[in-house]
Amino acid sequence: MKWHRRNMIAMVLMTPLIVPSLAMAQGAVSATLSVLTAPVERIGGTAGAPEPGITGMNLAEGDRIRTGAGGVALITFLNGSTVTLLSETEVTVKEAPTGRAKAAGIRMLIHAGRVWARVVQAAGSRSTLTLESNDYTATAHDGLIGAEQSSAGTFVCWTRRGTLWLTDRSGQTDTVLVAGQRARARFGVPVTAEPFAASASALEIRTTGPVVPLVRMPDGSQAAGFLAPDVEVNQVFGSLTEGKGGQRWLVEVPGGHEGPYTLILTGTDAGPFTARIAARYAGFSAYRQDIRGEARPGERLFTRITQTVKGQDPVTARAMEASVDGLRVWDASEPAATVASPGKSGPGAN
């Protein structure tokens, strides 16, 4: 299969970090499934019997994906958009763009649970991604968005990057959310935007110089950041990944875990770089540490960040301080898979 850089979906193996292309079957294939943590099940649109989810499995419109307790799945669409299904979530792929569509939309019905999406605006298209319940739809043209369907019937949606339009089943747009906002919606009740934070503590990585950062969470299965300037990964609920221009990059992830978080820095050119590791609790600085090094094109360096936190619940725990290992060349000792797709990053990204 010919490898088209802007339209391919890549499975990036962290050991040894190679990027082969995934084969796309002919027919009604609209997305590909990746199992980040089992258990994950697929129920075909024409068959009622569930089957175990397998990384690389093709998905078509009408397919239902279900994660069990502790399960995490990633759905990667043909335009590069990704949707992460957190534990105990069930969704149906309702509609997805075809290769010729210029104004097509990806639609995903959330039956229960929580999802996190990276929405890609492909060049020359006007595609959208919509997360929906029976009463509401949350639609974005690009950015980092999420939604949850609670057992109490409340639909909640968020955006960390980009604008999100919340519309009820009558077709009325109730709320327009901008970056850093969320809304809780029950049909017939007024909706109000409010601030959004995935957790009380946040771990932030800012790099300057010829490197791009990728953060792997302590569970080892989810990651957020960049593998190259045009290869963005965002699988972590509530995380933020941004190119800031001038060889500056930002990755922010929920910071309520002790760790270790793994920070991987990939050289894009030769020269000195700085990586600032910082944590905040309730918006106030908890600690900050700078690490410096010398980058080489294509070389990957890594360090581990181990925190001291106060509290047992990662959502509310307070990050206090951290120890940061010295930088080492990535040694391929930790097998893990990251599914990534190229997309425009940095200033001017759609």
What is the full per-residue pLDDT of the chain (350 aa) written as tens digits? 333 333 333 444 343 333 333 333 334 778 999 999 999 999 987 767 899 999 999 999 999 999 999 999 999 998 889 999 999 999 999 876 554 444 468 899 999 999 999 998 766 566 789 999 999 999 999 999 999 998 788 999 999 999 999 999 888 788 999 999 999 998 888 899 999 999 999 999 999 999 999 999 999 889 999 999 999 999 999 999 999 999 999 999 999 999 899 999 999 999 999 999 999 999 999 999 999 999 999 999 999 999 999 999 999 999 999 999 999 999 876 655 676 665 544 333 33
State how far the Cα of 7 lies from the Cα of 17, in Å rounded to an integer.
20
pLDDT at 246: 92
pLDDT at 123: 61
Pairing of the two strands 105-119 and 128-132: parallel
Report whether 120 contacts 111 (CB < 8 A): no
Angle at alpha carbon of residue 214, lines to 331 and 292, rounded to 5°: 75
